[in-house]
């Protein structure tokens, strides 16, 4: 059958010719010929995966069949592996002798430069709605949506951890300022003791000596007043020493608090870096997905235009 007309004159096998003619005349259904090159042990290819089993005469016979049929069908695997033309070229023929080429390609993987897409004959690509380029693009958009959500969530966590880190650092700066003020106050007091060349033990000794003099020497009233005043002076110095000790404790406590806060700030900074990395990686993958989508869109458009021009 060729162009809806009965034509069995080029088929040499009488039995095949009769079956073909009978099928066309009585059933008006497409007659399918399966042509298989097979070795004597039933293999379709050699151990090296070479499917060139047929000889020259057999190839001419195959092309004679091609010339007599309306269409020739192959799977996408054949196109990807062998890049065939699927035209009549092993025997004398004209362009109109070429059958319609049908490629079963559910995932629409056919390369745009495949020879089966040339202008020698019309080509039909049999694909599926669920597995075509548009579905692949939709799938990639879904992946892109997930990546955007992952990136945005990571960015939000980065902002949250940065705020926490800045709050901690602000608190650290405040505590450092408090330590600076406490140290200045302590320094002013210490300078006084440095000039007097006194410490807590020496002051206590001075107080004890003065108290012993009052108790044992029986000083005059005026002298006793002087000794009591001197004792009061040293006791005030002791109070200042207690203030210094209290300042030291406060400084120590603040220093410990700062150490803990610095450690906590470092932990928040680590979280910032971790989530920033997640965000950057997600963004990179997102850009790669968009590139794939654009490439598929372009391929779909080119393939559509190429097939449309064959009509």
Are 111 and 194 members of one domain? no
Residue 10: the pLDDT is 46
- Tell me if 13 is assigned to some domain: no
What's the CA gap between 178 and 171, in Å, rounded? 11
- Tell me if 12 is assigned to some domain: no
Sequence-ordered list of residues with C-beta below 8 angstroms from that of 286, at least 6 positions apart, any chain: 144, 147, 148, 151
Domain end (from 112, 131, 150): 131
Domain, as residue range, for 96:
32-131
What letter does residue 99 receive in the DSSP assignment?
A: P
Are 77 and 103 members of one domain? yes
Helix 221-310 vs helix 200-216: angle between axes, to the nearest 10 degrees?
A: 160
125 SS3 class: strand
Residue 261: the pLDDT is 96
Domain end (from 80, 101, 131): 131
Question: Per the structure, how many domains does the chain have?
Answer: 2
Are 168 and 291 members of one domain? yes
- Tell me if 152 is assigned to some domain: yes
**In this structure, what CATH number is given to the domain that contains residue 206?**
1.10.287.2610
pTM for the model: 0.52
Residues in the chain: 311
Are 265 and 174 members of one domain? yes
- Tell me if 181 is assigned to some domain: yes
Residue 77: the pLDDT is 87
Residue 157: the pLDDT is 96
Q: Which H or E run contains 299?
A: helix 221-310
- 218 against 283, higher pLDDT: 283
Are 248 and 223 members of one domain? yes
- 263 against 46, higher pLDDT: 263
- 72 against 25, higher pLDDT: 72
Six-digit token string for 244: 């210094």
When mean pLDDT is compared over 14-28, 202-216, 257-271, the highest value belongs to: 257-271
Residue 222: the pLDDT is 87
pLDDT tens, 69-126? 889 999 998 898 889 999 998 899 888 889 999 999 877 778 878 899 888 988 888 8
Which residue's entry shows tokens 């940065």? 162
- Tell me if 273 is assigned to some domain: yes
- Tell me if 22 is assigned to some domain: no
Residue 211: the pLDDT is 86
Residue 298: the pLDDT is 82
Residue 7: the pLDDT is 46
- Annotate 9-72 with DSSP letters as a single string: TT---HHHHHHHHHHHHHT------------TTS-SS-TT-----S-HHHHHHHHHHHHHSSEE
Biggest distance spanned by C-alpha atoms of the chain: 157
CB 10 within 8 A of CB 67: yes
What's the CA gap between 224 and 232, in Å, rounded? 12
- 200 against 284, higher pLDDT: 284
pLDDT tens, 231-289? 898 889 889 989 999 999 999 999 999 999 999 999 999 999 999 999 999 999 999 98
Average per-residue pLDDT in the chain? 83
Are 231 and 114 members of one domain? no
Domain end (from 131, 147, 172): 131
């Amino acid at each position: 059958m060729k162009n809806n007309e009965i034509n069995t004159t080029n088929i040499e096998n009488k039995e095949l010719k009769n079956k073909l003619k009978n099928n066309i005349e009585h059933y008006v259904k497409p007659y399918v010929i399966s042509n298989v090159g097979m070795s004597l042990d039933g293999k379709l290819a050699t151990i090296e995966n070479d499917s060139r089993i047929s000889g020259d005469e057999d190839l001419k016979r195959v092309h004679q069949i091609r010339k007599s049929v309306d269409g020739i069908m192959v799977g996408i695997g054949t196109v990807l592996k062998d890049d065939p033309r699927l035209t009549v070229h092993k025997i004398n023929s004209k362009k109109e002798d070429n059958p319609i080429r049908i490629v079963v390609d559910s995932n629409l993987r056919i390369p745009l430069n495949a020879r089966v897409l040339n202008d020698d004959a019309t080509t039909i690509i049999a694909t599926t709605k669920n597995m075509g380029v548009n579905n692949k693009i939709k799938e990639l958009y879904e992946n892109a949506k997930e990546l955007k959500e992952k990136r945005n969530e990571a960015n939000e966590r980065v902002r949250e951890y940065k705020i926490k880190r800045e709050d901690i650092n602000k608190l650290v700066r405040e505590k450092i300022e408090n330590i600076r003020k406490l140290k200045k106050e302590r320094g002013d007091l210490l300078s006084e003791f440095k000039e007097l060349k006194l410490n807590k033990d020496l002051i206590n000794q001075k107080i004890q000596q003065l108290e012993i003099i009052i108790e044992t020497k029986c000083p005059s009233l005026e002298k006793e007043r002087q000794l009591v005043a001197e004792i009061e002076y040293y006791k005030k110095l002791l109070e200042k020493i207690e203030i210094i000790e209290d300042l030291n404790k406060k400084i120590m406590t603040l220093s410990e608090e700062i150490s803990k806060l610095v450690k906590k700030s470092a932990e928040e900074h680590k979280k910032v870096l971790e989530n920033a990395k997640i965000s950057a990686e997600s963004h990179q993958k997102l850009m790669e997905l968009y590139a794939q989508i654009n490439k598929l869109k372009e391929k779909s458009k080119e393939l559509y235009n190429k097939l449309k021009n064959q009509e």
